[in-house]
Amino acid sequence: MNKIISLEEAVAKVKDGMTIMLGGFLSVGGANRVIEGLIESGVKNLTLICNDTSFPDRGLGKLIANKQVVKITTSHIGTNPSTQEQMNNGDITVEFSPQGTLAERIRAAGAGLGGVLTPTGLGTLVAEGKEVFTIDGKEYLLEKPLKADVAIIGASVADEVGNLIYKGTTQNMNPLMAMAADIVIAEYQEMVKVGEISPENVKTPSIFVDFLVSSK
């Protein structure tokens, strides 16, 4: 199966009302070309799962500023005034999840787990409406898995079957999200032949990647 597709084909896989995971940290490591394509397409009523909401003029933050998003699960929105304004106006619902907890919830979905137990958030707004378990005399919140219809991730290097490498800190959330969605689209910066990536350097194995699209 040829996994390499055009930008237009990648964008067409995202439909109104879908839940989308977008990797990266403040647009670093994000699939920014695909995001630009989504903005152009006008797809709407999206639910985003992301580490942060970037800035209003770059990365996934532009999707929010363009009012194509109705709900976000994220760890912080402090760098995007558009997210803050829309949340305060009731145009967007924001579920805050501590960064480590967010990563674990995504991992739990990819691993087929029913959730994770964590003390983080006890006694705060994060705990509202959530189950609390006592184990060996210590309380933990049950945080449920996060799964998406589509994960759109950014990779530094891909081979032709979809094995991925992330350079530096660009792997933020990307490997976890690649395991937690029905469809995974990886935007790559460099393409190499199969066998050119040493097996020990693969961060996301090809079995998790459905489609590949160039960042250029």
Q: For the domain that residue 210 is a member of, what is the CATH number?
A: 3.40.1080.10
Taking each continuous run of H as one helix and of E as one strand, the counts in the chain are: 6, 11
Would you tell me how many other CB atoms lie within 10 Å of the CB of residue 6? 11
Q: Is residue 14 part of a domain?
A: yes
Q: How far is CA 36 from the centre of its chain?
A: 16
Q: Is residue 61 part of a domain?
A: yes
- The angle formed by the CA atoms of residues 64, 65 and 66, to the nearest 5 degrees, is 90
d(CA 35, CA 189): 15
Q: Is residue 73 part of a domain?
A: yes
Residue 184 lies in domain: 7-113+146-214
State pTM to two decimals.
0.94
Q: How far is CA 69 from the centre of its chain?
A: 14
Q: Is residue 132 part of a domain?
A: no
Q: Is residue 89 part of a domain?
A: yes
- Total number of domains in the chain: 1
The amino acid present at 85, given as its one-letter code, is: E
**Contact predicate 180/109, CB 8 Å:** yes
Residue 26: beta bridge partners? Answer: none
- The angle formed by the CA atoms of residues 65, 99 and 133, to the nearest 5 degrees, is 125
d(CA 110, CA 194): 25
Closest CA to 94 of 72, 116, 120, 69: 72
Q: Is residue 134 part of a domain?
A: no
Residue 197 has a pLDDT of 97
* CB within 8 Å of 114: residues ≥ 6 apart: 108, 144, 145
Counted residue by residue, the chain has a size of 216
**Contact predicate 186/164, CB 8 Å:** yes
Closest CA to 104 of 123, 118, 119, 93: 118
Q: What is the mean pLDDT of each run of 10 residues along the chain (216 residues)?
A: 95 98 94 97 98 96 97 97 97 96 98 97 92 97 98 97 94 96 98 96 97 97
Q: Is residue 137 part of a domain?
A: no
Q: Is residue 121 part of a domain?
A: no
Residue 27 has a pLDDT of 87
